[in-house]
Amino acid sequence: MKKAPSVGLSSLSKKTYTYINMNPLQRKEYTITSEKEKLLLDTLQKRTDTEAKRLLSYLALPDLTRTPHSPLYAVVQRLLSLPTLKDFDLITIPEIIPSSEVFDLFNFPKDHPARTSSDSYYVEGGYILRPHPSVMWKYYLDLPEVQQKLEENGRLGVMCYGKVYRRDEIDWQHSNVLHQIDGLYIVRKDIQNVVQQDLEAVLLEVAESLFGKNLKSRFSVDHFPYTDPSIEMVISWRDQWVEILGSGIPHPQVIKNLGLDPEVYTGWAFGFGADRLAMLKMQIPDIRLLRSTDERVTRQLTNIDNVYEPVSKYPPVVRDISFVVTDSELNINQYYEMIREVVGDEYVEEVKFLDEYRNAERWGEGRTSYTIRIVYRNLERTLTNEEVDALHSKLMTETEQRYKAAIRK
């Protein structure tokens, strides 16, 4: 067996980073294709229901981490070339994967909410749209060449980035189709006994490469089924603390599920939100701007070292909807999803739950009254009142029909 490479120490002006030296390993790129994904895409295309159309439209959105003029592309490129990450392999994995890989292998309890169809997008037969790139751990460690590299060198590093899909709220910083950048480092314990500070050093290296050395940041405890401990990183941004990633030390059970002996191997892993990083970096006030085709916007987004100058914003039109519904009929995430479907993201800036109120005497047992505010605003033109009225009344009709809701006038 070859002698293990050493971990280089390099002292920078203020902080000490522990750069990982992957020598003699050099970056290699792997692409995993899936026949099953092709089949499922075919079946989706043949289906005529709205859910299938919706899934296809999400899958068809461009991957901004691979779109050269997007700030997400620049963020990814910057991370890929950092001293610690520059020799990490790259892997591209399918977008439609079995839920057993996403959840069972990664230690999700049977009743974890992420498993439900109100959080994840189910395609068919237990296959889902990937909710994060972290599932690449499995695809990477399954590769015989990678297993051999680990055997020979005692360490491995890999990154995976791209689109991920989660049912989510609607506001300036949330979208159901977003992008993440994941990293995984695996090492034999006799070479390096990884501690939390090793992980924190890498996260700082990443964050400071974007936000500068004066960045104020904090780490706090988080919870992921596949890491222990789990850590989140928040940074100070315009007087607020904002979360930019989840990370941790791979859970021994997951290491085992992926075919390695947790007595022998350890490591660290992270997942940064690429949209979030780009938005914070450039001070972009609305996530929809990242997909804008308005030349006044796109022109500005080509350089991530720019601060975004808002182009004139068109006025919002605000409408509320109040209704009473039987609790078992309504699922909040699905309600957001319906708004995306019947109104469309391009017309909705924000959906706020103003009021949620149960009163058995007034509405009956197990029934709740909701008041939801919809802020209608398009990024490229002024919406007329008539147009918004039409969208809003469509929303009321659908709410009434799909959820058997009583609209309150």
Which spans of this chain sit near ligand PHE (rule: CB under 6 A)? 132, 134, 182, 224, 227, 246-248, 269-271
SS3 39: helix
CB of 224 to ligand PHE, least distance (A): 5
For residue 212, what are the CA distances in angstroms to 99, 202, 203, 205, 300?
39, 14, 13, 10, 20
Tokens representing residue 142 in the block = 């399954």
Euclidean distance between CA atoms 303 and 284, whole angstroms: 13
CB of 260 to ligand PHE, least distance (A): 16
Report yes or no: 247 and 271 within 8 Å, Cβ to Cβ. yes
Report yes or no: 32 and 231 within 8 Å, Cβ to Cβ. no
Please identify, using beta-carbon distances, which residue of 247 and 378 lies nearer to ligand PHE. Answer: 247
Please identify, using beta-carbon distances, which residue of 101 and 182 lies nearer to ligand PHE. Answer: 182
CB of 134 to ligand PHE, least distance (A): 4
Residues 6+ apart with CB under 8 A from 151: none
Please identify, using beta-carbon distances, which residue of 139 and 270 lies nearer to ligand PHE. Answer: 270
Please identify, using beta-carbon distances, which residue of 74 and 136 lies nearer to ligand PHE. Answer: 136
Q: Which residues pair with 155 in a beta bridge?
A: 187
Is the backbone of residue 64 left (phi > 0), alpha (psi -120 to 50) or beta? alpha
Task: Name the residue with the smallest CB distance to ligand PHE.
Answer: 271
Please identify, using beta-carbon distances, which residue of 121 and 323 lies nearer to ligand PHE. Answer: 121
CB of 64 to ligand PHE, least distance (A): 17
Please identify, using beta-carbon distances, which residue of 120 and 247 lies nearer to ligand PHE. Answer: 247
Report yes or no: 162 and 274 within 8 Å, Cβ to Cβ. no
For residue 20, what are the CA distances in angstroms to 7, 24, 265, 321, 383?
5, 12, 16, 54, 53
What is the 8-class DSSP label of residue 171?
Answer: B
State the first-to-last Cα distance of the chain, in angstroms, to the nearest integer: 76
Closest CA to 225 of 139, 131, 161, 142: 131
Please identify, using beta-carbon distances, which residue of 84 and 247 lies nearer to ligand PHE. Answer: 247
Please identify, using beta-carbon distances, which residue of 153 and 247 lies nearer to ligand PHE. Answer: 247
Report yes or no: 376 and 355 within 8 Å, Cβ to Cβ. no
Is the N-terminal amide bond of 113 cis, ω within 30° of 0?
no
CB of 243 to ligand PHE, least distance (A): 9
Please identify, using beta-carbon distances, which residue of 211 and 224 lies nearer to ligand PHE. Answer: 224
Report yes or no: 267 and 250 within 8 Å, Cβ to Cβ. yes
Residues 6+ apart with CB under 8 A from 379: 286, 288, 289, 292, 294, 297, 314, 346
Q: How are beta strands 317-326 and 367-376 bridged, if at all?
A: antiparallel
CB of 183 to ligand PHE, least distance (A): 8
Please identify, using beta-carbon distances, which residue of 270 and 335 lies nearer to ligand PHE. Answer: 270
CB of 405 to ligand PHE, least distance (A): 32
Please identify, using beta-carbon distances, which residue of 157 and 271 lies nearer to ligand PHE. Answer: 271
CB of 135 to ligand PHE, least distance (A): 9
User: How many CA atoms lie within 13 Å of 217's alpha carbon, on the beta-carbon side?
Assistant: 24
What is the 8-class DSSP label of residue 395?
Answer: H
Euclidean distance between CA atoms 183 and 258, whole angstroms: 16
Euclidean distance between CA atoms 319 and 371, whole angstroms: 10
CB of 137 to ligand PHE, least distance (A): 8
Euclidean distance between CA atoms 128 and 55, whole angstroms: 10
